[in-house]
A and B are shown apart, each in its own frame.
Chain A
């Protein structure tokens, strides 16, 4: 059983650019959540996808968007990057969004906006 994998591991972008981060869910998991972890902070919930639809969102602007594909892998897209978007972005997958199941986290993508 493979774990949650994220790509790329590190990324440097310029302010105003757009970025796409990718997440491959653990086998058998149909729910993916994305979190932003700024330096020295705990992770903050961005949104969750369940069976290809967004079914929950945190306090993030619309320029943060996502997709989930039929194989349950997922993308996080951020438009018009700002310096404050620099953070570790974590993806977590679970088996079902409504059941008491554990979320497994990937190693994250470190995004630096300059």
Chain B
């Protein structure tokens, strides 16, 4: 089974400061990795995903994440945040397709609330 740990439940930062949201995962096999954002009273929106290839992945809204297999991490970063980035961020894993089994479900972490202050 896979699991995801988001190390910080809340991250407060000032506008235009850099931010890193940490995510570690556990899996005995290779996984796909995702970051989703959830604005208040909204569903989930995909920020970026790592499937294979380059370990540095760029997503929407200026976010990027780096996959580190040896540390089983997939930390999310943004060099300069805006007030509008205030939201809950979820890291998730999924098995790659093929061979049946449970390759369809996303396993989420508990989320990190990013609060950007003026």
Contact = CB atoms under 8 A, between A and B. Distances in A.
B36 to A, nearest CB: 8
A42 B109 contact: yes
A97 B109 CA distance: 22
A12 to B, nearest CB: 16
B51 interface: yes
B104 A43 contact: no
Nearest to A45: B105
B108 A33 contact: no
B98 interface: yes
Interface of B is mostly: loop
B35 to A, nearest CB: 12
B97 A45 contact: no
Given A100-B51, A100-B97, A45 B106 contact: yes
Given A98-B98, A99-B97, A100-B97, A107 B42 contact: yes
B44 interface: yes
B11 to A, nearest CB: 15
B107 interface: yes
Contacts of A55: 104
A108 B40 CA distance: 11
A72 interface: no
The contact size tier of chain B is 20 to 34
B117 interface: no
B45 interface: yes
A41 B38 CA distance: 12
With most chain A CB atoms within 10 A of its CB, the pick from B42, B43, B92, B108 is B43
Interface string A27-41: 000010101000011
Interface of A: 4, 31, 33, 35, 40-45, 48, 50, 55-56, 58, 90, 92, 97-100, 102-108
Given A42-B4, A100-B97, 10 more contacts: A4-B43, A33-B105, A42-B110, A56-B104, A90-B44, A98-B97, A102-B46, A105-B43, A106-B43, A107-B43
